[in-house]
Amino acid sequence: MAINREEFKEKSFIKTLSIMLISFIALPLIIMGIMYFGNENFKDNANKILSGLPGSIGSYFQSIPTKNEREQLKKNIAKHYVDLDQSRIVDKLLIVKGEDEELFKDLLILMSKENPNKMKKVKEDLRLLNLKNDPINRILSEIDKDSEEKINSLQKYYTSLTLSKGVQEIERTYASNEISVDELVNLFQNLKPDQASKYLFYLDVELGRQIKYKLPSSSLRNIEKKLQELETKQQKLFDLALAYENKSLDEAVAELGNLKTYSIEELAFIFKELTIVKSSRILSKVDDNDFMLTLFDEINQLQELLKETPNISPAIIKGVGIYKDYDKKIMELASVYEKTSTDELAKMLETMLNKNEVYQKYSLSDTEDIVFNEAQLVIDVLNKLKANKVAEVIQRMSEKNRVVLSKKLLD
């Protein structure tokens, strides 16, 4: 038992000595390691001392840059990065951040000193990227993206249609909850002011009011300017229509029977505001069928935009046919009357003037009729005869009829 106690004492002494030795050697090493990696000045001083060691160990510590050298390297990197494109700067900094968070922070500070304005935008890009990594923000971003894609798709669809169909589709998709007012507001912000104003000009009044109420003032200001231009132009065309209602047929045909004076859109508005009888008479003198078809199509679209019924195009087309038949009859009568004796023709035409009976009436609408009377027939026939024949015929009539005919033929 005595031997065992001696052995135990010896082992305990050795163990205690070992712990003391380890404490005196390891603890300073641990402390020095912490200071080495946590204190830049201590690390630099230690590297200077250790670089004096012989062999590869000294060479290793000699290759480690000093604090000043590291700061200079950071400045060089910052100057290089800040000259890159904004998107490339963001990419580079994200790579650095993944490898060394402290270096990332230092570079941000140094680069901000080099170019504050550019780095302000870079920091905003980095902030947005960080937000995207957040689950909630990522979901919201996806929602915004889906909404943007929806708006762009509908915008492409609306603008691919004619103006009248586009307006109808905007109203329909809103009424069926396929698109909200807020989405329409975003859509109208994407449109050019000219296009947006045309939609708003013809849209349902209440829907248009809601859209304008929510539009940013900068966008609304430009659109309102275009809306005012449209209202002014429409009033001008309305006044022109009133003037053409009383102009001579030849003058009206020369200016409204082609695209030399007005655009097809302007002509559609003018003809829509003219009486059906006047429109029919003017267009009966036009032989360009393509022009006529385009005009009627434009009138139809305009009435759709204004939600006007009934459609006046069929009535105008009917009137055109009636007047063409009438003109054909006048030419046939003129051909016959040219060969009729002057005395006989004068007597016959004077009788027609005096009686002035309505010999034909055609209904074009609930409020408009084409009426043919004998007095107008006489005037139209005389306009087709040779001048000397007309003069001889008039001379053989009563003074009253001579005055009336002379005035009408001059008109």
Mean pLDDT by 10 residues, the chain (411 residues): 56 64 60 58 60 59 64 87 88 86 86 88 83 63 76 93 94 94 94 95 96 93 96 97 95 96 97 97 96 96 92 96 96 93 92 92 95 93 92 91 84 67
First-to-last C-alpha distance (Å) of the chain = 154
pLDDT at 18: 65
pLDDT at 21: 61
pLDDT at 35: 58
pLDDT at 37: 57
pLDDT at 1: 46
pLDDT at 15: 67
Cα 198 to chain centroid, rounded: 10
Angle, CA of 124, 127 and 131, to the nearest 5°: 140
DSSP string, 324-362: HHHHHHHHHHHHHHTTS-HHHHHHHHHHHHHH--EEEEE
> Within 10 Å of residue 394's Cβ, how many Cβ atoms?
19
The residue ranges of every structural domain in the chain are: 2-60, 67-133, 140-227, 233-320, 321-410
| Nearest residue to 297 (alpha-carbon basis) of 271, 319, 275 | 271
